[in-house]
Structure 1
Amino acid sequence: MTGIRDVAREVGMSTASVSRALRGLPGVSPATRHRVLEAARRLGYVASPQAAGLASGTTRTIGVVVPFVTRWYFSWIVQGAQDRLRGEGYDLLLYNLGGKESARERLLATRYLAKRVDALLVLALTPTPEEQENLRSWDLPVGLVGAEAPGFCCVDIDDVGVSAQAVDHLVELGHERIAYVGGGLEDTLDHRAPRLRAEGWRAAMARHGLPLVPGYDEVGDFTMAGGERAGERLMELADPPTAIYAASDEMAIGVLRALRRAGRRTPQDVSVMGVDDHEMASFLDLTTVAQPVYEQGEAITAMLLAALRGELAAESPAGSPAGSPTNQGSATRRTFPTTLVVRSSTAPPGGTG
């Protein structure tokens, strides 16, 4: 079996230098690291992660805590993170909470993960003050997506602004009776997007001087099935809305199905729009507010890797544009821009555009 000494002899270097090159540690030039990696590949040498961990005190593993692994948004965040980690020689260890508070407590309120990973990525959950204190005691980089906390790396979008973009579009088309579909189970785990998008809908309606009609705020659980149920309830109202804004494309797709089953045409009878730009959105001609989901996974992972290398910037220039790094406490925060994508599911009331 080929060992590290064989690689060292091949490139004429010490085993210690070869080890540093293979593990991506500082102090090795790119050219040297490339030569070592090529020699290792040619000789068929595969490093033992366990041995490397014992020698360096690291695991070469990033832990990822996901509220619902089957949801489209979370799966694409994880994909972006994994692709970035693969290129750096790190593994990803996935923990799915499945919406269970007990699972969250086990992972974030104890030291269960402290010795298992080199860094931790938490998706769409805002750690409580007690959880933040516990995570800081690990002395490991922590990254948050769709949330923020002092001292942690953070990546997000402007969820209030997302709703403003959606409502503004519908109002510009002439709609006044605009319903909202959102909320649900994520709230129990402190997923802030449902709360902020609902706040954004209410604020945008008030800004346009439009009333919040009773029954126009429906729970859709951020699923297609939940969106379908919400759409059915909205169509049962005595004075149903002329437009429905769903806080995710998956719920919007469910709403479209409910409208079709109720004999309502889109957009002639009811305009529908969502958030995300899900891969099915273009297929169904769904108007949406697009967010770069995969890129957020890449970006937060890059921050964690930079923190592990000691390269995380301590400060950022004032007035950084949207989508650029900004300082949050002692760690980096990045807010990505969102984009209105107009398709055929929205039109003026009673019209087709």
Structure 2
Amino acid sequence: MVSLDEVARAAGVSSATASRALSGRGHVSPATRQKVNEAAESLGYVVSSAASSLASGRSRSIGVMAPDLHRWFFNSVLSGISDTLTRAGYDLTLYNVTNDPQLRREIFRAFLRRRRVDGVIVVALELDEWETEQLGSLGLPVIVLGGRPRALPGMAIDDQGVTRLAAEHLLTLGHRKIGYIGGDHAFDVDYHVPTQRREGFDQAVEAYGLDPADSPAGVADFTIPGGYRAAKQLFGTPGASFTGLVAASDEMAIGVMLAAKDLGVQIPQQVSVVGVDGHELGGLFGLTTVDQHPVGQGRTAAEHILGRVDGQGNGDSDLPFELVVRSSTAAPAEVEPF
């Protein structure tokens, strides 16, 4: 196995300089850092994580607690976190927090202590008082992504703002009969995302002098099949006439578009559709969306936790979102609305 001393000799520097260049800690000129990295690569040198931990007092690993790993959104967030940590020379230790209360308690009580980490990112989980205390007792930096808890720093998008922007887009185009498909009660546990997104929709509608109660509404589970079923039901509801529809997620919006196709409802000629998320399939479907940049959210969270590990305090942060207009929305056409 190639040693650090061999790398130092090949680069023509001291072992201490080679160590600083490879670890990224301490002052080393760019030219020297490049020379050491080239020597390490040519010799096949790999930094020993155990030795690095002993020298720095760090594990160079970040714990990430996340639910629903099969869901596109959380996978996208994890991709952003992993990419940023890897580039910084950190490992990712993943804890899948399911709905099983016993397993969830065990993760907070014991798992985080078994494998030492330098910080923890909590993704879209609302923590109770005991869980917050357990994280606090670790004495490590913690960031909550997707919420703003009282006792911990957090970063999140404005969940009212995204659906308000989506509805305002339709209203600006001239739509006055707008439907809505949101998340069902099962998803209203952590930070009440379904409730907040419905409130944002209602705020936009009310600002135009309309009554939200007149907006045809359905609920689903933030999936394409769920959106498909909810749209089928909404399209089949007697008297539910609307020219625009906001879905609280892109996957549900894509389900709406598939249901409309099966029923012969023309998009956007009869119904304009807007989603929320920035799903990778949105472009293929021509879906207008409010992009919340999930990969970027993961990168931002990773950058913040690494900053806190290095002693640079970062407080709460508002995450950006933007309207991306595609072919699924247009001004109301002079045809019979749905």
- Say which of 324, 343, 352 aligns to 2:326: 343
Structure-1 separation of matches of 2:94 and 2:122: 10
Between the aligned partners of 1:146 and 1:35, the Cα distance in structure 2 is 41
State TM-score, norm by structure 2: 0.87
Query: How far, CA to CA, are the matches of 1:25 and 1:273 in structure 2?
Result: 47
Per the alignment, residue 168 of structure 1 pairs with 168
C-alpha root-mean-square deviation of aligned residues, in Å?
2.6
**Number of aligned pairs?**
333
Aligned position for 1:333: 316
8 Å CA contact 2:178–2:215 kept in 1: the answer is no
Q: Matches of 1:59 and 1:6 in 2, distance apart?
A: 24
Q: Which ranges of 4 or more aligned residues in structure 1 deviate by more than 6 Å? A: none
Aligned ranges for residues 258-337 of structure 1 at < 5 Å?
A: 258-310=259-311, 312-313=312-313, 331-337=314-320
Cα 1:184–1:33 shift into 2, 3 Å: farther
Unaligned runs of 5+ in 1: 314-330
Counterpart amino acid of residue 347 in structure 1: A
Q: Is the 8 A contact 2:183 2:219 kept in 1?
A: yes
Which runs of 5 or more structure 2 residues have no equivalent in the other structure? none
d(CA) in 2 for partners of 1:344, 1:100: 42
Alignment-derived partner of residue 206 in structure 1: 206
The AA in structure 2 aligned to 1:338 is: F
2: CA distance, partners of 1:147 / 1:75:
18
Aligned CA distance change for structure 1 residues 99 and 209 (closer, same or farther; 3 Å): farther
Aligned match of 1:324: none
**Amino acid corresponding to residue 113 of structure 1 in structure 2:** L
Going by fraction, where is helix more abundant, 1 or 2? 2
Which residue number corresponds to residue 253 of structure 2?
A: 252
Q: Is the 8 A contact 2:188 2:194 kept in 1?
A: no
Q: Is the contact made by 2:157 and 2:318 (CA closer than 8 Å) also made in structure 1?
A: yes
Counterpart in 1 of 2:196? Answer: 196
Q: Could you tell me the TM-score, scaled by structure 1's length?
A: 0.84
Q: Which string of whole-angstrom CA distances, capped at 9 and with x for unpartnered residues, describes residues 288-308 of structure 1?
A: 112222222111111111111
- Offset of 1:137 from its aligned partner? 1.3
CA deviation vs aligned residue, 1:109-140 (integer Å, no higher than 9, x gap)? 32421343211112122322322222121111
Shift in Å at residue 54 of structure 1?
A: 4.0
Secondary structure at 2:95 match in 1: strand
User: Does the 8 A contact of 1:61 with 1:92 survive in 2?
Assistant: yes
Partner Cα distance (1:183, 1:104) in 2: 23
Q: Counterpart in 2 of 1:326?
A: none
Give the distance between the partners of 2:186 and 2:10, measured in 1 at CA.
Answer: 55
Note if contact 1:123-1:146 (Cα within 8 Å) is conserved in structure 2.
yes
Partner of 2:82: 82
Post-superposition offset of 1:249: 0.7
Structure 1 equivalent of residue 120 of structure 2: 120
Identity of aligned residues (%): 42
